Structure 1
Amino acid sequence: MVKIDTFDQAALERCLIRSPVSSDAVTAPPAATLGLLLFARLRAHDPNWLFMEHAMDNKRRVTYGELLKGALGLAHGLVDNIGLKCNNRVAIVAPNHELYFMIEFACLFAGLTLVPMVPEFMPNDGPRLMADTQPHAVIVHSSLYESARKALDLSGLKPQPHVILLDSAPVPGLAAKDLPRVDDLIVPGMAKPPMTGFQAQLDDTAIMTFTSGTTSATKIVQVTHRMVASTMVQMHANKHADAVRADDKLKGKLAEGQAVRYDCSIRFYHLTGTLVGVSAALRGCAVFYFEQHDAGNWLAAVQRHKITHSVMFPRNLIALIKDERLKQFDISSLVQILSVSAPLSGVMQQHAMDILGIEILQAYGSSEALAVAMPRWGKHTELRPGTIGWLKPGMEALMLDPATKQPLPIVENGVTGPGELVVFGASVMSNKTGYFNRPIETAAAFIEIGGRSWYQMGDLVIREADGCMRTADRSIDTFTHDGQHVVPTEIESQLYKLHGVVDAVAVPIPVPGSKGEENQMPCAAVVPKNKAVLTDKALQQALTKEVVDIVAKNTKQHMHLIGGVVFIEAVPRNAMGKIFRKASRTKVMEILGLAETKAN
């Protein structure tokens, strides 16, 4: 861990970024684990309220009463019948399903650690991920049993974990009695969590989640009960976050008291998906889910269920505003869309709000720090597209000089930065917990300043006079052209505006005759909406002109696409939708016939 010890407390105080929301607005997190907090809240909700329903199939639904009853029964079954103990790890390998959160809450009730697995990882990375996480039990959907079984067989784990089937569908070659199913384990009549749930502590791991792997090898973040509980308290202290339109009351089958209805096309294994479910359960909201995002199904669901709040990846939002079916549906019930997981430029944020006529917020955080900023605070603060907003209450941050790593003093009546953002707070991963079985990577993620260990977000941030922040880019993603920093996301935001562009990525390629990384030029890889562009030279020339022109018109000269434009079938992305920039650059270099060199 890097240590900066040249700052005294008074000097450090002049560099601190704090939330505009008073710390007094944040009550202390409950002195209870996430499982016990959920248990208390679920008991208080009307059991007839809808918790979760498949957006396209109303037979696949769970009420709050069924959720509480099933989660309590399964919690006892996992402890009494399977023999799991406090802080044992339970992997979940499943698509989005109406019982997913019943299983997650059962684990939390029992004081167990959740390990939501990415189903797409199973065929190739499954053995390594199973070996790395070392689960004591695996709950798997029938459709994924074969790949999960192979992953376990190749993992080398001894003893092998217990395997439990999530659903009742038959599995080829497997007799009904061969493996227990979730329904078989539910102990009826349970009124409180098992004793193991009361043994868990706030600083125990509640959830183990995987980093995106876009900048380095996938790591396993240990998210503690304290981190999640603190995040919920911090976010709910922002009164605007809970505000809904006064006339937005539920009609029909949903209860009058449930004023917020979420859609969730985000996968539940994604940390954001898990936190959406937890937040909804704490607040008594209804959630309508999809197995995967489809613009047509999403539009139909918003109209049918009068969904008020949506959570989606930027690429899905961009595809939505270009979808020709948009005007065929009534989406007036929507209050806001929260864009998560990857940057959304101010240009695209405003463009999407203009087309959809609703508020679009950009979430900012990471698996290691959860939600870091609030896009607005107070009911009268205007939304600022292109910013990440203000620091959450209960957190502190510093901006470091990228070259010296020294904290930057805050310019009270002006702009501070850009600087590398580091954060500290109860909702941030601790250097004592860190990445599971990765002490070296854990130490490298922190920097010690003023006697505290600050988590390094990896982003270059600019702070405005009133505390509102915006990211310049990931510090490791920018590159240099003619002595000036090129910000790939700024180029990409212009390309997304073009109707003929479905997806795009900007990468650095070598300037002819230059050596090293000091001087590279921007090149765009574009996924065309019309697939004929991939092979038609005339169509390529026409779209290339549009791409080059829009970047030249709206960005500074050093970001112009002098490296050219290439056309690809798909931008390399991980399961969470984030761009693999190194893989993207490799693909572009191959297309251009250039030798690969190391890039930022």
Structure 2
Amino acid sequence: MTRPWLDHYEEGVPRGWTPSNDVLPDLLRRTAEAFPGRAALGFLGATTTYRELWQDVGHFAAALQRIGVRPGERVSIMLPNCPQFVVAFYGALLAGATVVNTSPLYVASELEHQLRDSGSETLILLDAFYPRYSAVAGRVPVQRVIVTGIQDALPFPKSVLYPLKARREGHWVNVRAGGSVYAFRNLLRSPSTTPRPVTLRPDDVALLQYTGGTTGVPKGAMLTHGNLVANAEQARAWMTDLRPGQEVTLAAIPFFHVYGMTVAMNLSVLIGATIALVPNARDIKMVLSQIVASGATLFPGVPTLYNAINNHPDTRDFDLTTIRACISGSAPLPLETARQFRQTTGGANLVEGYGLTEASPITHVNPIYGEQREGSIGLPLPGVDALVVGEDGQPVPEGEVGELWVSGPNVMKGYWNRPDETAKVLREAHGQTWLLTGDMAVMDEAGYFRIVDRKKDLIIAGGYNIYPREVEEVLYAHPAVLEAAAVGVPDPYRGESVHAALALKPGMKATEAEIIAHCRLHLSPYKVPRSVEFRAELPKTAVGKILRRQLAEEARAARQVQAAG
């Protein structure tokens, strides 16, 4: 196959690249040896060096083995971004277990499904989340629970003041250790920093990362040590000016999401960066203050986070000029958001990337310092191959729309206990194993890819294909629009029509007629929204991705009620 993108890699990005044979604990061990006194974690005034982090991981791994965790067993981690997450993640892997990332936002029924589906026998969670586990405890395979609190990671006197504040605000949950319930802080006092040796191989499953995938059914993507190490190494190869032992990564995107885990945590460990932990990215003032306090140089994020910073009333009071590079993932990056953010930070390189859970997750990124093509997801990373494929499974010509297929060492092993679902998205063709992304894309003559939209989000109006992203770009260009989503709703004449859901910037106003008139200036008539809905905020996932599907369902339900009335 031809790879035109190789000719457009910026200087320093390897054209020929192969992954190492490392497993994830190797990354931390090697960095602790190279930069023992370097701050690994910064958390609300507390600092942990790489030497201390590696020791904590050893203590925790040994303690897990002592309380019965066996190699290959699933260990669910339900924590926000805090030092305990990093210790639990690497500690569980060092003990030979498979980690199951579990969203702290899960309600009891969602938690029950994931614990049962993964067969998790160990659950590590924040004390505040314990009542949700209690509601399902008798119906899941969990045999041991490890509980920690934010106060466990805070320096004195914050460690004493935090419980008082939580009690005053009604957030305090007191969980007593005993029986099958263990205190995280006590396990860190394990007498041994050397767990029993476990043979880890690159092909061993390190992580079950649950996703709706390309078919919408929650299932665990089996990501191996080799997958996750390769993707961290690919990101390092792409960012040509990374300075080992000198960078500071603002970790605002959650580690329980694969993008935050790979770029904010694993890549940082790989290069010996200090990880400035932000437990709540919705608190934009906290995000801003942590950028300044930490001197963050790298800021991986999602479009809604950058957008919120652009439009926060206090942003101008913070010096954000230390930020050098930002890769935006998880959702399409509106052009206006990128332009504003570069202005806000005094020129930080914010580039759009692309990936999906099943690929660990990054497959494409715009060059950080080379040619960046607006509206594109950039070029495939070193070691990644990509095709745009038609319905017949054959590549389409440059410039034509088809489904994006990707291949590389970062592509998952399959879905946990779901061979039928695996067979739908992994395909042998052209001498390689390909992941069928479900996204519609175009490749230009230089090998830059552009996502037209998700196959399932396609709106078909009067026989015309409408890709929501194109409509959303126009909506975001309106000066009053803060957040936008375009979805399809039933139309008795056209089959479907475009419905726009918007949240406006603070203090701004707009009417439905004004928004539609704005769209008519920039879109073909069949693409113009026929209806506009204004909301205080659009619904999002835990990582900040706007939930188009939920908006579409709610809009369709509202139409049905109107029709019935």
Query: What TM-score bracket applies, with the shorter chain setting the length?
Result: 0.7 to 0.9
Give yes or no for the alignment of 1:274 onto 2:241: no
The verdict on how the C-alpha distance between 1:264 and 1:292 changes in structure 2, with shifts beyond 3 A counting, is same
Question: Partner of 1:318 in structure 2?
Answer: 307
Q: CA deviation at 1:218?
A: 1.3
Quickly say closer, same or farther: Cα 1:503–1:166, change in 2 above 3 A. Answer: same
Question: For residues 367 and 383 of structure 2, what CA distance do their matches in structure 1 show?
Answer: 16
1:334 corresponds to: 323
> Is the Cα contact below 8 Å between 2:17 and 2:382 reproduced in 1?
no
- Cα contact 1:17–1:397 (8 A) shared by 2: no
The answer to whether the 8 A contact 1:18-1:397 is kept is: no
Instruction: Decide whether the 8 Å contact of 1:461 with 1:471 is kept in 2.
Output: yes
Cα deviation digits, residues 30-88 of structure 1 (max 9, x gap): 3232223432232222x22111112xx20x33221210110011111111x11222221
Which residue of structure 1 lines up, in the alignment, with residue 156 of structure 2? none
1:370-381 equivalent positions in 2, closer than 5 A: 370-376=361-367, 379=369, 381=370
Alpha-carbon distance, 1:569 to partner: 4.1
Mapped contact 1:19–1:396 kept (Cα < 8 A)? no
**How large is the RMSD of aligned CA atoms in angstroms?**
2.8
TM-score normalised according to structure 2 size = 0.87
Deviations 1:174-213 (A, max 9, x none): 54444322232236675655312xx222111111111157
Q: Equivalent residues in 2 for 1:346-357 (5 A)?
A: 346-356=335-345, 357=347
Q: Would you say the 8 A contact 1:522–1:560 is kept in 2?
A: yes
How far apart are 1:572 and its partner, in Å? 3.2
- Find the aligned partners of 1:548 and 1:24 in 2 and give their Cα distance: 47
SS in 1 for 2:552: helix
Q: Aligned in 2, Cα 1:594/1:17: closer, same or farther, shift over 3 Å?
A: farther
CA 574–304 in structure 1, closer or farther in 2 if over 3 Å, else same: closer
% identical aligned pairs:
25
Give yes or no for the alignment of 1:565 onto 2:532: yes
Deviation, 1:383, is 2.1
| Residues 441, 449 of structure 2: 8 Å contact kept | yes
Query: Does 2:68 match 1:87?
Result: no
Code of the aligned partner of 1:128: H
- Residue 415 of structure 2 corresponds to 435
Q: Is the 8 A contact 1:70 1:186 kept in 2?
A: yes
Deviation at 1:582, TM superposition (A): 3.0
SS at match of 1:448: strand
3-state secondary structure, aligned to 2:63: helix
- In the TM superposition, residue 375 of structure 1 has moved relative to its aligned partner by 1.3
Aligned residue number for residue 263 of structure 1:
250
Q: Which amino acid in the other structure matches residue 554 of structure 2?
A: K
Deviation of residue 150 (structure 1)?
A: 2.3
Extract unaligned runs of 5+ from structure 1.
1-12, 245-256, 410-414, 534-538
Match of 1:97 in 2: 82
Aligned partner of 1:423 among 406, 431, 451: 406
Aligned to 2:209: 209
Deviation string, structure 1 residues 558-582 (Cα, Å, up to 9, x no partner): 2112x12122344333323333333
Would the aligned equivalents of 1:212 and 1:574 in 2 still touch at CA under 8 Å? no
Distance 2:526 2:343 in 1: 29
- Write out per-residue CA displacement over residues 245-300 of structure 1, whole angstroms, 9 at most, x where no aligned residue: xxxxxxxxxxxx74211111111211122212111111110111212122222222
Structure 2: how far apart are the matches of 1:27 and 1:487?
35
Report the residue type matching 1:480 in the other structure: I
- Shift, 1:226, TM fit: 0.9
Q: Where in structure 2 are the equivalents of 1:142-291 lying within 5 Å?
A: 142-155=127-140, 157=141, 160-167=142-149, 174-178=175-179, 179-186=181-188, 190=192, 192-196=194-198, 199-212=199-212, 216-240=216-240, 242-243=241-242, 258-275=245-262, 276-291=264-279
3-state DSSP of counterpart to 2:26: helix
Question: Distance in 2 between the 1:124 and 1:189 partners?
Answer: 37
Partner of residue 123 from structure 1, selected from 83, 89, 108: 108
The one-letter code of the counterpart of 1:421 is L
Q: Taking CA–CA contacts closer than 8 Å with sequence separation of 6 or more, which of the two structures ends up with the larger relative contact order?
A: 1
The one-letter amino acid paired with 1:31 is N
Q: Structure 1 residues 186, 509: CA separation in 2 closer, same or farther (over 3 Å shift)? A: closer
Contact 2:14–2:237 at 8 Å: present in 1 too?
no
**Contact 2:490/2:556 (8 A) holds in 1:** no
In structure 1, the residue corresponding to 2:482 is in which secondary structure? strand
Q: Does 1:591 align with 2:558?
A: yes
Unaligned stretches of 5+ residues in structure 2: 153-162, 164-171
CA contact (8 A) 1:36 1:109 kept: no
- Which of 50, 59, 63 is the matching residue for 1:64? 50
Q: SS in structure 2 opposite 1:311?
A: coil
Q: Deviations over 1:392-432 (max 9, x none)?
A: 1112222111x3332225xxxxx4322211111111113xx
Question: Is the CA contact (8 Å cut-off) linking 2:214 and 2:437 kept in structure 1?
Answer: no
The answer on 1:475 being equivalent to 2:460 is no
